[in-house]
Amino acid sequence: EDKVVQSPLSLVVHEGDTVTLNCSYEVTNFRSLLWYKQEKKAPTFLFMLTSSGIEKKSGRLSSILDKKELFSILNITATQTGDSAVYLCAVEVPGTYKYIFGTGTRLKVLA
Amino acid sequence: KAGVTQTPRYLIKTRGQQVTLSCSPISGHRSVSWYQQTPGQGLQFLFEYFSETQRNKGNFPGRFSGRQFSNSRSEMNVSTLELGDSALYLCASSLGQGFTYEQYFGPGTRLTVT
């Protein structure tokens, strides 16, 4: 069965710290992986990754995909309290247009 | 550009009743996907519609159904509600089908079944 596993499940850091969130998947031949940030409401889109080894950046956030080793990481540098959220990754099931989501990493950034 | 909208935002129903949730995608988006989110199971895919046709379905019982209209708006129906159906129901829209299209989520409908 296709599976997406995120680690750690939860994380508490202080403002200014750098964090690395992991997403590993057991979905072969997938074509895209998505990262989302979910606060109290709907997930908001962060990144879509389709190619291995190409880093995507947006401000203090960056993400990279390793298709060979079947994982992705999301880095957040100089964390702020506003980064506190659940971070979700999702992998597309090959040949379909549906995504399997991991259960998320809950990040709490303390002032 | 307005985002994805969902109505109603909150709903309380009793077991055995049925419910219909609505999703209006971002203007120009033609694909709508529905997800169920619960604390125990996380986000789980329900189904996806494109051009008024259901293209994909997740592992949910037949009590869960949906449809899409010609203006891309979508509705999801759950019949014979069970306590376990209490969840946040999210819809997401994208320009088209395919892995190159980003999905944008609506705020969700929180359904409580008593």
At residue A37, does pLDDT exceed 70?
Answer: yes
Of all residues in chain A, the one with the smallest CA distance to B49 is A97
CA of A15 vs chain B CAs: smallest distance (Å): 27
A69-103 per-position pLDDT tens digit = 889 999 999 999 999 999 999 988 777 767 889 98
> Which pair of tokens denotes residue B63?
């009590």
pLDDT of residue A23: 96
Instruction: Give A63-69's long-range contacts (Cβ < 8 A, gap of 24+).
Output: A63/A35, A65/A33
Cβ-nearest to B103 among A34, A41, A96: A34
**Neighbouring-strand partners of residue A92:** A99
Write down the mean pLDDT value for chain B. Answer: 92
Q: How far is A88 from chain B (nearest CA, A)?
A: 9
Within 8 A by CB and 6+ apart from A67, the residues are A51, A52
More confident residue, B9 or A98: B9
What local confidence, expressed as pLDDT, does residue A54 receive? 84
Whether B103 and A98 lie within 8 Å, measured CB to CB: no
CB-CB under 8 Å, B105 with A36: yes
Is B56 in contact with A32 (Cβ distance < 8 A)? no
* pLDDT tens, residue by residue, A40-77: 778 888 998 987 888 899 999 999 998 888 899 999 99
Query: Which residues of chain B have a CB within 8 Å of the CB of A42?
Result: 4, 90, 105-108
- Identify the closest residue of chain B to A90 by CA–CA distance: B43
Tell me which residue in A31, A34, A98 faces B58 most closely, judged by beta carbons.
Answer: A98
Measured between its terminal Cα atoms, the distance across chain B in Å is 37
Please, are residues A96 and A10 in contact by the beta-carbon 8 Å criterion?
Answer: no
Span B66-91, average pLDDT: 96
Q: How far apart are CA B40 and CA B89, in angstroms?
A: 14
Query: How confident is the model at residue B69, as a pLDDT?
Result: 96
Q: Which of A36, A98, A105 to mutate to test the interface with B (most CBs of B within 10 A)?
A: A98
Interface residue of B99, B101, B104 to substitute, partner A, most A CBs within 10 Å: B99
- Please give the full DSSP string across B11-62, using - where no structure is assigned: EEE-TT--EEEEEEPPTT--EEEEEEEETTTEEEEEEEEETTEEEEE-S--T
Which of the residue ranges A5-19, A94-108, B53-67, B68-82 would you say has the lowest mean pLDDT? A94-108
What average pLDDT score do residues B95-106 get? 80
- Rounded to the nearest 10°, the torsion over CA B11, B3, B32, A47 is -120
